[in-house]
Amino acid sequence: MPQFFLNKRLIVLLVSIIFLVALIGFSLKERQNLTWPEQFIKDTAGFVQFIFHKPAQFVAGFFENVNDIKHTYKENKILKARLEEYAVLEAQVQELEKENARLREFLDKKESLRDFEPIQATVVGRNPDRWQELVIVNKGKRHGVTKDMAVITPSRALVGKVQHVSPFTATIQLLSASDQKNRISAFVQGEENAFGLIEGYDEKRKALLLRRIPFDAKIKEKQKVLTSGLGGVFPKGLVIGEVLEVEPDEYGLTQMAYVKPYANFYDIDDVIIAKRKIDDPKEEGE
Amino acid sequence: MKKLVLPFLVILFFVSESIVVDLWPKNGFYEKYIFVPRFLLIAIVFVTVYVTRFYGIVYGFVFGLLYDVFYTEILGVYMFIFVLIAYLTSKAMRVFHNNVLVTSFLSIVAVSVVEFYVYGIYLLIGKTDMPFEIFLYDRLFPTIFLNTIFVIFVSYPLKQQLIKLPIREREDEDYLL
């Protein structure tokens, strides 16, 4: 027995396992903020990553461009066919936008849930062990990013939300993370909007799960799913994806839809963090 | 100036993992099979063998911590295993001959050990619900494949670099542990 306790290696091992469990427990609990040493390490490492990452991205981008040129002819043909369609749509949208602005003036309602201030950010790092899909970008608290903000691609499709911020970097959790706590209030666009919550991701079908839709809502395939802006800091009207399939939920009280996301979660270089304008204290004071 | 060579090398390996994942061509193949670059771990095994055990453990600790804080945000997981791998590698090298092939083989074993370990921990804390079979075929084998190719290319130049380093106390550091 005394021999057992004198075994230095064993004691070191046991102490470090206790330490390990404590640390894991600490990092799993719901944290609003990272501790300051973590923020400091993140910022420093983020800076180093940025230095290495930029040239690498540039070189890769060049090869990608060469690859793209090969497909240009075919794509051009398809796009030309759709150009007319687009022009009509564009005119319509402009008309509607104008009308919307005029009506808003009538109502003296200047701010809406839809308005957001875009914060451009570049990806500087990606979690290499792909258990959790985390992406690190080069904008942080100093640039106005806060926890839980929506993150979209340059083509305005939702990709994820901000998980943690440090002064100069932010960690983004992609929608494809199988995290039950990652809830987003959304609705299905139709004659009557059906509201629900995005909860989790189906790895096999590559689809998001839109749960808690009222049982009497009529949802068809191919309908678009957008953020509702009701759940907190997300702006309204960011596109998420389109409905693949609808089925009754576990207990049959609500419906569940599989939503095919528009954004490609894997191919992300630049993102936009959407800072909702309505939350800005300056504007509230006016 | 020469003192900075080793930290710089290891930082390079640390950064390269994220760059490889980010720049990997993103097609259906990428979505189906999960290739995890474990270059940092390979570097730590090589540092343990060709520099000293002490350096291996210290680098394992520091870069494991960096990995946890910067990439995964779950503290302790990689810090613990990198130190343990450095220690076990040094123990194993007493049994085997000191040879590049043996070291390469050991680093591949280390990669699979780490994969199993992280899978186990993530199952335990509920971060994943991947069935074992899928883990084996879609994750472990591609990962070993990728890292084997990497080791084949890198092992010899890395060894040469590490042997050149001016570190005095090689071989005589058995006072620790």
Confidence of residue B107 (pLDDT cuts 50, 70, 90): very high
What is the distance between the alpha carbons of residues B20 and A128, in angstroms, rounded to a whole number?
8
CATH code assigned to B2-164? 1.10.1760
pLDDT of residue A69: 85
Answer for the pair B71, A129: CB distance below 8 angstroms, yes or no: yes
Q: Exposed e or buried b for every residue in B33-47, given b needs 16+ CB within 10 A?
A: ebbbbbbbbbbbbbb
Report pLDDT for B41: 94
Q: What is the pLDDT of residues A215-264, one digit of tens each?
A: 887 888 888 888 888 867 788 888 888 888 888 877 778 888 888 888 88
Measured distance CA(A280)–CA(B7) in Å, rounded: 44
B52 and B167 Cβ atoms separated by less than 8 Å: yes
Where does the pLDDT of residue B176 fall: very low under 50, low under 70, confident under 90, or very high at 90 and above? very low
Residues of B in Cβ contact (< 8 Å) with A9: 177
Chain A touched by B26 (CB under 8 Å): yes
**Rounded Cα gap, residues A107 and A187, in angstroms:** 25
Q: What is the pLDDT of residue A230?
A: 80
Nearest to B60 by CA among A16, A185, A132, A160: A16
Residues in chain B within 8 Å Cβ distance of A134: 71-73
Distances in Å between the Cα of A115 and the Cα atoms of A274, A275, A279, A280, B170 are 9, 9, 10, 11, 63
Record: contact B18-A49, CB cut-off 8 A? yes
Q: Which residue has the tokens 């062990």?
A: A129
d(CA A274, CA A145): 9
Instruction: Name the E strands within A29-176.
Output: 116-126, 134-137, 150-152, 158-165, 170-174
Question: How is domain A183-261 classified at the CATH fold level?
Answer: Thrombin, subunit H (2.40.10)
Q: What is the pLDDT of residues A129-144, one digit of tens each?
A: 888 888 899 998 998 8
- pLDDT value of position B84: 92
Q: Touching check for B174 and chain A: CB below 8 Å?
A: no
With beta carbons less than 8 A apart as the criterion, state whether A152 and A158 touch. Answer: yes
Given this model, what pLDDT does residue B141 score? Answer: 93
Convert the pLDDT of each residue in B111-137 to its tens digit. Answer: 999 999 999 999 988 888 788 998 899
Extents of the domains making up chain B: 2-164
Task: Determine the pLDDT at residue B151.
Answer: 94
Q: For residue range B81-100, what is the model confidence (pLDDT) as tens digits?
A: 999 999 999 888 888 888 88
Residues of chain B by 3-state class (helix, strand, coil), percent to 5: 75, 0, 25
Model confidence at B171, pLDDT cuts 50, 70, 90, reads low
Locate A133 and state its tokens.
């899909």
Let me know if B175 is exposed, middle or buried by CB neighbors in 10 A (0-12, 13-18, 19+): exposed
**Interfacial B residues in 86-105 facing A (CB < 8 Å):** none
Token duo for residue B176 = 């620790």
Which pLDDT does position A236 carry in this prediction?
A: 85
If DSSP states are collapsed to H, E and C, what string results for A75-95?
HHHHHHHHHHHHHHHHHHHHH
Tokens 């389109």: give the residue: A242
Residues 188-247 of A with CB under 8 A from B: 203, 206
Q: Where do the structural domains in chain A lie, given as residue ranges?
A: 183-261
User: In one letter, which amino acid is A106?
Assistant: F
Asked whether A49 and A125 are in contact (CB, 8 A), the reply is: yes
pLDDT in tens, chain A (286 residues): 456 556 788 888 899 899 999 988 888 887 778 888 888 888 888 888 888 888 888 888 888 788 888 888 888 888 888 888 888 899 999 999 898 888 888 887 767 777 788 889 988 888 888 888 888 999 989 988 988 888 988 888 888 888 889 999 999 988 877 666 667 888 888 878 888 888 888 877 888 888 888 888 788 888 888 888 886 778 888 888 888 888 887 777 888 888 888 888 777 888 999 888 776 655 443 3
Nearest CB partner across the interface for A24, out of B16, B37, B125: B125
Strands A194-202 and A207-214, by their bridges, are: antiparallel
Cβ atoms within 10 Å of A109's Cβ, excluding its own: 9
Phi/psi of residue A148, each to 5°?
75, 10
Biggest CA–CA distance in chain B, Å, is 52
